[in-house]
A and B are shown apart, each in its own frame.
Chain A
Amino acid sequence: MMIKKALLALTLLGGTGVAMADTYFADMQEEIPPQPKATNLGYFAPRDLSEIPKGAFGDKIRKGYELFVNTQQLNGRSVGNQLNCTNCHLDAGAKAYAAPMWAAYLAYPAFRKKNNHVNTFAERVQGCFNFSMNGKAPAIDSPELVAISAYSYWLLMGGLLDMFGMQKTAVPELSDTALQQGGNIDDFKLPGPLSDKVKLDKRGQMPGRAFAKLDKTDQAPSPERGAKIYAEHCALCHAEDGQGIKMADVTVLPPLWGAQSYNWGAGMHRVNTAATFIYENMPLGKAVQLKPQEAWDVAAYINSRERPQDPRFEGDVAATAKQYHADDDGFYGKEVEGEILGTKAFPATTVK
């Protein structure tokens, strides 16, 4: 099965241009609207990793994959917790509705009304370093960001070529600067027959992007009910205390809260984002399917525990909450079990 080609076909966006300057990550974790889950559509399938080409360009792609699944090699430099990109972007960024990199790559550069700024793909990756990884993002032109961009581009382009019957066509090479942009730009060229078949609009809505929409339930999400769900369906892997499990000194099952997890500015800290992720993807392997209410409740539970501070914090939780969390669906600055969350947060961005 293949994605309906029609979904990809439409007009090119009229030259939005790309503003690269003033990389300000203030609200880079802005919510991406979840999509109604596409039924009946086979998801896009990236190429097998063994098909990454030989040579310098292929090396960048391979490095990107390696960083994506073992981001801990940057621990203490760009990463300040025990997570890896693949812990949230499952199957090395290839899984639909776990914010896959192929769909993301096509969606950037993306214009953000909020700050009147166009974020490139690489800038969006920086956002996840600063928040999800509680770290300090490598520079835009660093080998790390080029590599992660190259890998994401390869996931997208290889899959598109295959989808249109061009299994034998090599993924065209791009310059480092082009790689950082993403596919939502006039000069992002699709090879040969693809160029007129796939006139990409709605590039930000490739089926499978981000997370699948999960309807609100009758009862408001409850951390108390969530605690029970957690004990029943999550503690096996993420441990009673939410700190995950290490094996041979390597964190294998990732921490969900506390000093070693994502910080208060990360997208996953929002209850709605976590609920949709969990509903679709957890418990890993999906031997059981949670009910929507259970997903909301358990998301409320894990996201009402302390975690590293929001890096935009300037000494006052209420002010940070007002400025950055006013319309997000999270617990930062709110009282749960007698404590205002954020007041006992762990240090933000422990890397120097």
Chain B
Amino acid sequence: MRNLIIASGLLTLMAATAQAADIPTEAQQCVTCHGDKGQGTAQGPMIGGMSEQYLDAQIENFIAGRRNNTLMTLMAQSLVDLPARKIALSYFAAQGSPLKGQLRGDKIALSGAEKLYYQGDLKRGLPACYSCHGPAAVGGGSFPRLAGQQADYLAEQLIAWRKLERSGDHDNTMGHIAAKLKEDEIKSLATYLSAIQ
């Protein structure tokens, strides 16, 4: 019941904000929380510039309860019209500013978060984040863009995996990695990644 009330309140809110002509109708209901280009707002994380494949998998994860967030779960549950969902997601996937990719090897003596990102930690069996998230954390395929994402959101996600509150990543690929990260590393990785422009 309460959910329904929240939902209807949301709808009114959204009708008022999203009007930009170049945004497909299907995506307009997302803009309130994710921004007109999916850049993120105080109500929701960045989703612009991530692959459609990744975004769609997350909608499914919210629907199936493998990720939990009152507002977004409700939104996801409303996205049952698959062709409409596709239009919304492909709009956001096409956003996101291009990045000048820092390649593996461009810098050598690294420390902290940047070192974990580009070199990993062999002793703990932690592969470099780069191996999966790519140059400058731009992402692609099943791998989300991390560059420019809100720091708090990034940290929350890594912690959610550690607490077994987020799943749905194929073969627990990311959960296995998050479990090996220390709390201070999570903080510094989140800060580092969110600052990449």
Contact = CB atoms under 8 A, between A and B. Distances in A.
Interface of A: 45, 49-50, 52, 62, 65-70, 84, 86, 90-92, 94-95, 233, 236-237, 239, 245-248, 250, 252-253, 283-288
A69 B141 contact: no
Contact of A66 (B108, B109, B122, B170): B108
Nearest to B173: A287
B14 interface: no
Given A91-B128, A248-B99, 9 more contacts: A66-B105, A90-B127, A92-B119, A247-B141, A247-B143, A248-B140, A252-B134, A284-B131, A284-B132
Nearest to A70: B105
A233 B171 contact: yes
B68 to A, nearest CB: 21
A283 B125 CA distance: 12
Contact of A236 (B111, B171, B175): B171
A183 to B, nearest CB: 21
Contacts of A250: 101, 103, 134-135
Contacts of A52: 108-109
B131 A252 contact: yes
B171 A287 contact: yes
B104 interface: yes
Interface of B: 98-99, 101, 103-106, 108-111, 119-120, 122-123, 125-128, 130-136, 138-143, 170-173, 175-177
A248 B101 contact: yes
A84 B105 CA distance: 11
A67 B108 CA distance: 12
A66 B177 CA distance: 25
Contacts of B170: 236
Given A252-B130, A287-B171, A245 B140 contact: yes
A35 to B, nearest CB: 19
Majority SS at the chain A contact face: mixed
Given A248-B99, A284-B132, A253 B108 contact: no
B180 to A, nearest CB: 9
A62 B175 CA distance: 33
A45 B127 CA distance: 16
* 7 A-B pairs closest in CB distance: A247-B134, A287-B176, A247-B140, A70-B105, A50-B109, A66-B105, A69-B105
Nearest to A287: B176
B123 A65 contact: no
B127 A91 contact: yes
Contact of A239 (B132, B138, B141): B141
Contacts of B136: 248
A286 B138 contact: no
A233 B132 CA distance: 15
Contact of A248 (B98, B111, B125): B98
A91 B125 CA distance: 10
16 contacts: A50-B108, A50-B111, A52-B108, A65-B105, A69-B105, A70-B103, A91-B127, A236-B142, A247-B139, A248-B98, A252-B135, A285-B127, A285-B176, A287-B172, A287-B176, A288-B172
B164 to A, nearest CB: 14
The listed residue with most B CB atoms (<10 A of its CB), out of A45, A66, A67, A287, is A287
B141 A94 contact: no
A19 B171 CA distance: 49
Contacts of B103: 70, 250
A52 B99 CA distance: 30
A284 B127 contact: yes
A67 B127 CA distance: 19
A252 B140 contact: yes
Contacts of A245: 140-141, 143
B176 A248 contact: no
B90 to A, nearest CB: 18
Contacts of A246: 140
The listed residue with most B CB atoms (<10 A of its CB), out of A91, A237, A283, A285, is A285
A148 to B, nearest CB: 12
Given A250-B101, A250-B135, A94 B108 contact: no
A90 B104 CA distance: 13
B134 A237 contact: no
A248 B105 contact: no
A49 B139 contact: no
Given A45-B123, A50-B111, A95-B122, A253 B141 contact: yes
A334 B24 CA distance: 53
Given A65-B108, A233-B171, A287-B175, A247 B131 contact: no
B173 A285 contact: yes
Contacts of B143: 245, 247
